[in-house]
């Protein structure tokens, strides 16, 4: 039986998992979760994920949430090789560090802005939140000065999480290509992946619509 991914592709985290699934070429049953209708708060969903976030993966009797954990689990279990998530400890450590960079720095700064728009009624991105996100861009630019992809010269899981976050961040605080040329080049490289449009752009367009509806 194929694993199930509970998803709402407006979420950058969900899109990171969709990119991973497409890159792995595996069969996963996609189960939509209507966040606006509160489906993520229903008892049956909370049994799978008590933190009521998306995505959530159910693989038989096992359930896991957080896209970073989901993506590494799927890759370890189903990947034909270790190209996306190396078994070599040092190379894997670099990929893990970039995944932690996403979940510890980039994603929380995006989430803070989105939260202010959706839950606090903000009509614009505050300067302090924009500055923090721009600092994140500067760190990513530094990392990309050393390599073609986020965790080296080979595409990895880290690229999927970071592009899903950064493409969303770009809607909130536009990335100036003259200031961050390496990010611009890398984003273009990611956009050329054959599964990028389906796995990320479709949901990103929904994210754009959501954000624009909240901004003055």
Q: Is 11 a catalytic residue?
A: yes
How far apart are the C-alpha atoms of 11 and 33, rounded to whole Å?
11
DSSP string, 116-143: HHHTS--SS--HHHHHHHHHHHHHHHHH
Residue 57's DSSP bridge partners are: 5, 64
Tell me if 16 sits within 8 A of 193, measured CB to CB: no
CA distance 150 to 157: 9
The whole-angstrom separation of Cα 171 and Cα 208 is 7
Q: Which residues pair with 63 in a beta bridge?
A: 58
Question: Longest Cα pair distance anywhere in the chain, in angstroms?
Answer: 49
| Marked catalytic residue, from 11, 17, 67, 156 | 11
Tell me which residues are annotated as active site.
Answer: 11
């Amino acid at each position: 039986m194929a694993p199930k991914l509970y998803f709402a592709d407006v979420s950058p985290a969900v899109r990171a998992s969709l990119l991973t699934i497409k890159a792995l070429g595996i069969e996963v049953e996609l189960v939509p979760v209507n966040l606006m209708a509160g489906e993520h708060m229903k008892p049956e969903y909370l049994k799978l994920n008590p933190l009521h976030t998306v995505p959530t993966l159910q693989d038989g009797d096992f359930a896991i949430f957080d896209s970073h954990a989901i993506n590494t689990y799927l890759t370890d279990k189903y990947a034909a090789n270790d190209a996306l998530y190396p078994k070599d400890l040092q190379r894997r450590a670099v990929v893990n560090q970039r995944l932690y960079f996403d979940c510890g720095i980039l994603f929380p700064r995006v989430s803070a802005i989105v939260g202010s728009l959706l839950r606090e009624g903000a009509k614009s991105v505050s300067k302090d939140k924009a500055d923090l996100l721009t600092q994140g861009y500067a760190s990513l630019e530094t990392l990309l000065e050393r390599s073609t992809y986020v965790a080296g010269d080979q595409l990895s899981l880290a690229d999927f999480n970071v592009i899903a976050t950064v493409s969303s961040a770009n809607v909130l605080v536009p990335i100036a290509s003259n200031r961050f040329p390496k990010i611009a080049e890398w984003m273009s490289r990611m956009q050329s992946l054959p599964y990028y449009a389906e796995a990320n752009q479709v949901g990103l367009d929904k994210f754009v619509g959501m954000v624009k509806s909240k901004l003055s």
